[in-house]
Structure 1
Amino acid sequence: MIRICLAALVALAAGAASADPSFWRHEWPGTDFSRTSVDNWAEIRSGGPGKDGIPALTAPRMHPVADETRLAPREPVIAVEIDGAAPRAYPVRYLTWHEIVNDTAGGVPVAVTFCPLCNSFPTFDRRVDGRTLTFGVTGKLRHSDMVMYDRETQSWWQQATGRGIVGAMTGQALHPVPTWMESWETFRARNPDGLVMDEPDWPRRYGRNPYRGYDTAARPFLYDGTPPPHGIAPLARVVRVGTMAWPLSRLSAETPLTEAGVTLTWSAGLASALDSARIADGRDIGAVRVRDAQGQDVPHDVMFAFAFHAFHPDGTWMLGD
């Protein structure tokens, strides 16, 4: 049975709130609702908390890898490795409760994100047309995916795609930064002189999973779109590269896999953040890296199949023979 503790999932009644900009304007007076790429406002629903009810972080404390004592070996972290900067690990135990971390690495302002409901974790360059944005959590969901906002223009952004969907930034696209999710043990072994995000000063049950059993559920939360094609389970993980999706089950069986100009590799040893009550005890789902023909890391995501289908309905499913 799924046990969901986070307010975003407890307040189901809030999801029925009016999908009408006039209802939202009192909370979002600085948002230009006349500009949007959303055809149907009913696609945007409340997840429970209001604006900043899930508090995004900015410029978190970092400490040396050698000083970290809280993380278990298989715990997931998002690795950010930018030339000219010490490699940085952002533990999912913190992103589960904050969903966005605004930081700067190697002079690049980044937004490290994680939407538990879609298992989506893209990292973006926060600069748009020469302006650096700072992101927060609206408390809204679209196709069960987090809707972010920028504090500078109060525009709304789709986390899974990095595109502005409401407000002055509608139609703008954030540039993805090549990052990946891997185990703490893997990151630490590769980067003994790296940095890791320290525990935030918020009263949260860090290390606990408020979405227990979610990634083996029959259906996603607050999603009423069509299911993925080809009989793929809605909550099966797929590796997204652009508008292509490889089922993780295929990759784990055929690794390494070279197709469509990229090489995908899978390795065991990464705990699911959405399985057991304690993240460190999650079942092994394995980690993914994606590189191009020159061996350079390629921006990608490992998201649930329903989310890929929702945001890329004409996308290509890389199913093999």
Structure 2
Amino acid sequence: MPATLRHATAAALAVGLAAAAAADPAQWGAEWPGTDFSKTTLESWDEVISGGPPKDGIPALSAPAFLAVEAEDRLGAREPVIAVEIEGATPRAYPIRYLMWHEIVNDSVAGRPVAVTYCPLCNSGITFDRGVGDRVLTFGVSGKLRHSDMIMYDRETQSWWQQALGEAIVGEMTGTDLETLPTWMEGWAQFAARNPDGIVMDEPEWNRSYGANPYRDYDSADRPFLYSGEDPPHGLRPLERVVRVGEHAWPLARLAEQEVIREAGVVLTWRPGQASALDADRIAEGRDVGSVRVRDPGGRDVAHDVMFAFTFDAFWPDGRWMVEAGAR
């Protein structure tokens, strides 16, 4: 781990541990006056720590601008994007180079309100439907973490939501689940080749080092950032990637070796062509970790996430680890 990240880790860890030691909704009232802390699924407030930035210190985006695929000339061929392909809408790519600094994009696709999210500390890239009943929610970044995963909040009720789960964990909406949409991460060239008439999110008008990776070498580290849990089972490294589908997790290394796996009612495929966003100084130059698609036997895309093994272990402690054929 580089010195800059080691120093940032030490500073943020000190902040996080201090926050955990004093975890108490009464301490958060000034920052969160609209949050109903009497409602929560948390077993202990000590699960919540500060990630360093305050509420909205990482600015979520809304209604982004887009470019035609043919007009985009900043992205490297293997640069990761989240592909959102909804029937009736022009396919859209959301570059991780922007989500790295904003983590949430509130958008609308074919009239459907969506939140495209990415948590760098968990490598978790998930797209949610923002509609809940007759409400349309708008999400921001709380600045708080649980098991190193981003806690989002909605601006309408000030409830807190766990990004990895898509579930409200504090506030009026506690216990509510967001619908997860079947989107995926892939290399920019892969998206562009499949969707020459598609569109790609334009660079936001913020002063950020877009294209840079502030977490250099992170996915090669021995331990996750701001995480105190145990290592995952089966000898998996905490920061090893796994493909999560529901409560099942396949090690990415196994899928990359086999390229196609048919198990648990889904078909997982892997091909090279996507850079790790959490490896080199420049995202486009990260080592190739490949791109994953998950479909049902009929060929329809299935919602999934390529996250770190420690994240799956933390949020799905009774989940199934598909480390080999027929695994339990």
Per the shorter chain, which TM-score range? over 0.9
- Superposed CA deviations along residues 150-193 of structure 1, whole A, max 9, x for unmatched, are 00000000000000000001000000000000000000011011
Residue 53 of structure 1 is matched in structure 2 by 57
**Quick check: 1:62 aligned with 2:66?**
yes
Q: Which amino acid aligns with 1:268?
A: P
Q: How far off its partner does 1:265 sit?
A: 0.2
**Equivalent in 146, 152, 157 of residue 153 of structure 1:** 157
**Equivalent in 222, 247, 251 of residue 251 of structure 2:** 247
**Equivalent in 89, 95, 108 of residue 91 of structure 1:** 95
Residue 278 of structure 2 is matched in structure 1 by 274
Q: Which amino acid aligns with 1:102?
A: N
CA RMSD of aligned residues (A): 1.4
**Preserved CA contact (<8 Å) 2:104 2:117:** yes
- Superposed CA deviations along residues 229-262 of structure 1, whole A, max 9, x for unmatched, are 1111100000000000000000001121100110
Relative to structure 1, the CA distance from residue 74 to residue 246 in structure 2 (aligned partners, 3 Å threshold; closer, same or farther) is same
Paired residue total? 321
Which structure 2 segments of 5+ residues have no match? none
Residue 171 of structure 2 is matched in structure 1 by 167
Q: For the residues of structure 2 that align with 1:9 and 1:91, how far apart are their CA atoms? A: 29
Q: How far off its partner does 1:227 sit?
A: 1.4
Relative to structure 1, the CA distance from residue 8 to residue 101 in structure 2 (aligned partners, 3 Å threshold; closer, same or farther) is farther
Relative to structure 1, the CA distance from residue 267 to residue 6 in structure 2 (aligned partners, 3 Å threshold; closer, same or farther) is farther
Residue 12 of structure 1 is matched in structure 2 by 13
Q: For the residues of structure 1 that align with 2:314 and 2:143, how far apart are their CA atoms? A: 19
- The percent identity for this pair of structures is 67
Q: How far off its partner does 1:12 sit?
A: 3.4
- Superposed CA deviations along residues 292-311 of structure 1, whole A, max 9, x for unmatched, are 01100000000000000000
Relative to structure 1, the CA distance from residue 270 to residue 9 in structure 2 (aligned partners, 3 Å threshold; closer, same or farther) is farther
- Superposed CA deviations along residues 41-99 of structure 1, whole A, max 9, x for unmatched, are 11100000000000000000011111101101010000000000000000000000000
Which structure 1 segments of 5+ residues have no match? none
Residue 191 of structure 2 is matched in structure 1 by 187
Q: For the residues of structure 1 that align with 2:27 and 2:8, how far apart are their CA atoms? A: 21
Q: For the residues of structure 2 that align with 1:8 and 1:306, how far apart are their CA atoms? A: 17
**Quick check: 1:74 aligned with 2:75?**
no
Q: For the residues of structure 1 that align with 2:12 and 2:234, how far apart are their CA atoms? A: 33
Q: How far off its partner does 1:10 sit?
A: 5.0
**Preserved CA contact (<8 Å) 1:93 1:279:** yes
Residue 320 of structure 1 is matched in structure 2 by 324
- Superposed CA deviations along residues 98-143 of structure 1, whole A, max 9, x for unmatched, are 0000001111110000000000011000011121000000000000
